[in-house]
Amino acid sequence: MALNNGIAAALGFFDGVHLGHAEIIKKTVQSGYCPVVLTFDDHPYNIVKKINKIKLITPRDIKTSLIADLGAESVYLNFHEYRNLQPDEFIKKLIDMGVRHVVCGFNYKFGAGAGGGICELRELCAEYNMTYEIVDPIYCGEKIPVSSSRIRELLYNGDITEAIEFLGHPFYIEKPVIHGNKLGAKLGFPTVNQRFCENDLIPAAGVYASLVCLDGEKLEAVTNIGVRPTVGDTNTATTETYILDYNRNFYGETLRVALLNKIRDEIKFNSVDELKNQIQLDVDTRKSNYYLVQPKT
């Protein structure tokens, strides 16, 4: 497809790059202009409020990768340079960047104090000879609108299967592999240990069917998220992944783990032997695959 001169900009924060976001990005790619997603490193609410911060479904690296998979380039703007711009100043800034067409969701807000909405966008685009496309809400399941806030709620509740339906892809964890206490190896289930960052959304504690994405392969795995109540001595949540029938040292590498389905809640056992027996049951459940829906990864 031959591209027109100029940029088509998808506007928004795009946390999760869910089905609604994907529709906006696809429209941007189909516009005939050079497709770019204009976004920020952190949620504007977090920068403005500084307390009760919104945890991110997709940290920057994952978001960038998902946007690229949809055919667009990510451009991360400095929020402080834009937060005090009036709506018309914001549009002028986009024009200076070479933007000729904008695509956004039906509830998009822009400008200082989120003072601009869809009505203002239409008026300003007409004034400055810029074209636009407004994308209606996308619905999932029983006519429930897809939104990042809904997905966060589902993940916090451990409803990973429904969250994935809204996302259109697995929930990803992508972190460096760190050293653990090697208890898993002693029990016959060596794990890949990763640590969450302060701003990460941590799903409900439990054991999940998962995939480890490695060099184009997708390796079947079981992932535990939680505080390890049987053997742990901390309230800090961690993530440990056992890759089925695979043994390799990953220390120092960054691995992407895709959560697919929740197998069970986290349980405190009376002994390490009970824990070992349950891990084997979890692995057997994962291997059976009888209930497992594997979304596009």
Q: Which residues contact 224 (CB under 8 A, 6 or more apart)?
A: 191, 206, 207, 208, 239, 240, 241, 266
- Provide the residue type at 275 as one letter: L
Structure tokens at 24: 């906006």
Strands 139-140 and 144-145: antiparallel
Judge whether residue 64 has pLDDT over 60.
yes
Residues 7-140: name the CATH superfamily: HUPs (3.40.50.620)
- pLDDT for 124-142, tens place per residue? 999 999 999 999 999 987 7
Structure tokens at 187: 């029990």
pLDDT band with cut points at 50, 70 and 90 for residue 144: confident
Structural domain boundaries of the chain?
Answer: 7-140, 170-288
Q: Which of 180, 154, 170 is nearest to 257 (CA)?
A: 170
What is the per-residue burial (b if ≥16 Cβ within 10 Å, else e) of 32-60? Answer: ebbbbbbbbbbbeebeeeeeeebbbbbbe
Judge whether residue 117 has pLDDT over 50.
yes
At 297 the pLDDT is: 46
What is the per-residue burial (b if ≥16 Cβ within 10 Å, else e) of 199-222? Answer: ebbbbbbbbbbbbbbeeeeebbbb
Rounded to two decimals, the pTM is 0.90
Q: What is the CATH number of domain 170-288?
A: 2.40.30.30
